[in-house]
Amino acid sequence: MRLRPLIALLAAATAVAAAGIAAPAAQAASSGSTRPKLRQVGYFTQWGIYGRNFHVKDLDTSGAAAKLTHINYAFANVSPEGLCFQSATPGESDAWADYQRTVPAEQSVDGVGDTWGEPLNGNFGQLLKLKQKHPNLKVMISIGGWTWSTYFSNAALPENRAAFVSSCIDIFLKGNLPILDGGSGGPGAAAGVFDGIDLDWEWPNWNGEPGNVIRPEDKVNFTGLVAEFRKQLDALGQSNAKKYELSAFLPANPAAMDAGFEGKKIFKYLDFATVQGYDFHGTWETVTNQQSALRRPAGSPDNPDFTLERTVKSWIERGAPRQKIVIGIPYYGQGWTGITAGGNGLFKPATGPAPATHQAGFEDYKALKTLGYPVYRDWQAGHAWLFNGTTFWTYDDPLVVLQKTLWSRSQGLGGVMVWSLDGDDSNATLTKTIHLGLS
């Protein structure tokens, strides 16, 4: 019985968010509330302009840009020598998408197309235009990610880290882009695009993608690295009267936390950290499960299980200030097929990943919402899933997103992050729902 008022509130608030109408709470907050503004962070993927046909302009036309406080641009790479760099080498960097591509008028934020060889084209040029239209929006360059964390360990070594930080600041904050193939770039070409650095090392002293360099001293070296970033960012800010922010993406696994991070120490230097709130389970397993539950579901085969609540609690126990924790929410689902055990599909054997648009077992919210499968919910655990008798998708819909957002506020946390913005629908329903919950 106690859940009924919450369900009614969530349903009503979600309808308001989807319609793009300001809720009374949001109006009150904008008219004099002194509560600190919470962060609403979204990752924009460099490669989204290709198969997903998702462009910076879509953040404006959907209404997402007006709701976000931060965009994290994913990703910049780290060289074997431990430096930030830009190149046109496939698999190593994508200068074409970043700043060379001539964006046509119909894909441009301001309706003006690019000309080949201008100092700043591509996604970077569009992000600058987006910031001009939304002056309160901050854009961070995110370094690493699952694929490009290979040489982070080299960069964090005491003898390398100052040069690494300097190279990242030079390219992305000072905007000194190399001129490649006679295209865009040059001294100061990208100045003003980025307002800070997001470190996405997956993971210090812990297995990530095969081939990653790992050292036992990664843990202490990560602390040294964030300290060096803080030092150089503050020095740059003093020279131009600007505040540059520093954030990091942190894991959900307590074992990875202990192996790679000095919890209390790193938060001395970070403005905030986004914590993993997804990929708790997935199609690397043969049994259906939740990938992003708020709490452990009843009947879960794992105890303890990976959950958002456990992740946040684990970081707080390790010294993270609540107000600097920004929880992660997925704009995609994990899916299995070949399920014959009946019931609601949860915790059932499957034969493999479910068919999907771009990658088997992985589908955007905007596609999942159109499947028409029955929706199942566990309000107590805070997760939802789709199941049609054979195929199962664990995902976050607007009701789950709002439930998590309201929970983050109730815990005194610092906001919400999403991976990734291209998974939302054309009306930015999930992004607007988060904004409603944070307002």
Residue type, 365: Y
Whole-number pLDDT of residue 25: 40
Q: Catalytic: 202?
A: yes
Q: Alpha-carbon Rg of the chain, whole angstroms?
A: 21
Q: At what angle do helices 3-19 and 429-438 cross, to 10 degrees?
A: 120
Q: Please name each of the domains of the chain with its CATH number.
A: 37-275 (3.20.20.80)
- What contacts 24+ positions apart, CB below 8 Å, involve 11-19? 11/399, 13/402, 13/433, 13/436, 13/437, 14/398, 14/399, 14/402, 14/433, 14/436, 16/436, 17/398, 17/402, 17/429, 17/432, 17/433, 17/435, 17/436, 18/398, 18/427, 18/429, 18/432, 18/433
- Calpha distance 276→308 (Å, rounded): 8
Residues 6+ apart with CB under 8 A from 107: 55, 57, 126
pLDDT (tens digit per residue) in 380-396: 999 999 999 999 999 99
Q: What is the dihedral of CA 375, 381, 383, 389, to 10 degrees?
A: -40
- Calpha distance 53→51 (Å, rounded): 5
CB atoms within 10 A of CB 433: 30
- Calpha distance 313→325 (Å, rounded): 10
Enumerate the β-bridge partners of residue 325. Answer: 273
- Calpha distance 425→416 (Å, rounded): 18
Is pLDDT at 295 greater than 90 in this prediction? yes
- What contacts 24+ positions apart, CB below 8 Å, involve 377-380? 378/293, 378/297, 378/298, 379/3, 379/6, 379/7, 379/403, 380/3, 380/295, 380/297, 380/298
Whole-number pLDDT of residue 37: 84
Residue type, 236: L
pLDDT (average), residues 332-344: 97
pLDDT (tens digit per residue) in 161-190: 999 999 999 999 999 999 999 899 999 999
Q: pTM for the whole thing?
A: 0.94
Is pLDDT at 5 greater than 80 in this prediction? no
Q: Are 293 and 381 in contact (CB under 8 A)?
A: yes
Q: Between 263 and 4, whose confidence is greater?
A: 263
pLDDT (tens digit per residue) in 8-34: 566 555 454 445 434 434 333 333 444
The active-site residue, picked from 81, 106, 202, 309, is 202
What does pLDDT average to over the chain? Answer: 94
Locus of tokens 């709130």: 277
pLDDT (tens digit per residue) in 214-240: 999 999 999 999 999 999 999 999 999
